Amino acid sequence: DQQVKQNSPSLSVQEGRISILNCDYTNSMFDYFLWYKKYPAEGPTFLISISSIKDKNEDGRFTVFLNKSAKHLSLHIVPSQPGDSAVYFCAASASNNDMRFGAGTRLTVKP
């Protein structure tokens, strides 16, 4: 089941710079997209979401962009902070269907 793909297993960024995490999906029925953040030994925690009627959603340092024609979304974190170091999962769902997750991207923000 590869409906949601995160092709970069890891990303390293300098503190203060922008982090860009990418996600692609194949199911055109997906209409709601989310990013979760996961620290070791903890469950995923919700970060930010976007519905398919929008192409951008911003919450503080976090912005999610959705390109429906390309079936692509991205998470921008700016400025990046060392505390942002975690695994970031992209997730998607279709109406009344259940959420599917990507494989995750490990972000390391270096001081």
Residues that bind other proteins in the complex, under the rule CB under 8 A: 1, 32, 34, 36, 41-46, 49, 89, 93, 95-104
Q: Which is nearer to other proteins, 32 or 62 (CB)?
A: 32
When the beta carbons of 76 and 100 are compared against other proteins, the nearer one is 100
CB nearer other proteins, residue 104 or residue 109: 104
Q: How many CB atoms lie within 10 A of CB 96?
A: 5
Paired with 86 in beta bridges are: 107
Nearer to other proteins, 38 or 68 (CB): 38
In the complex, least distance from residue 109 CB atom to other proteins, rounded to whole angstroms: 21
Give whole-number Cα distances, 21 to 89, 93, 98, 100, in Å: 9, 19, 23, 17
* The amino acid at 9: P
* Minimum distance from residue 52 beta carbon to other proteins (Å): 12
CB of 47 to other proteins, least distance (A): 9
From residue 63, alpha-carbon distances to 27, 35, 40, 58, 79 in Å are 22, 10, 23, 4, 11
